Amino acid sequence: MPLQKSGSKRALKRNFRELGRGKTYARTKRKSGTKAANRQRVAIALSNQRKYKRGGR
């Protein structure tokens, strides 16, 4: 499922959950560890929220 394009808190929570289940998360976790994978997950979700909170594209 793709990330939701919204700046709301609800969309942030859903995107965060989605990023924790994907192949990218599993790959990062395997290569760099859980801590790094979680940091990346947070960074992506917050970046997406900022992008669409200010108007988006």
Tell me the pLDDT tens digit for each residue of 6-30. Answer: 999 999 999 999 999 988 899 999 9
- Mean residue pLDDT of the chain comes to 90
Asked whether 44 and 7 are in contact (CB, 8 A), the reply is no
- In whole angstroms, give the CA distance from residue 32 to residue 53: 30
C-alpha distances in angstroms, 8 versus 20, 44, 49, 54? 19, 15, 7, 11
DSSP, collapsed to helix, strand or coil, labels residue 41 as helix
Residue for token pair 């960074």: 43
- In whole angstroms, give the CA distance from residue 52 to residue 44: 13
Domain ranges of the chain: 10-53
Q: What is the mean pLDDT of residues 1-6?
A: 87
pLDDT at 55 over 70: no
pLDDT at 44 over 90: yes
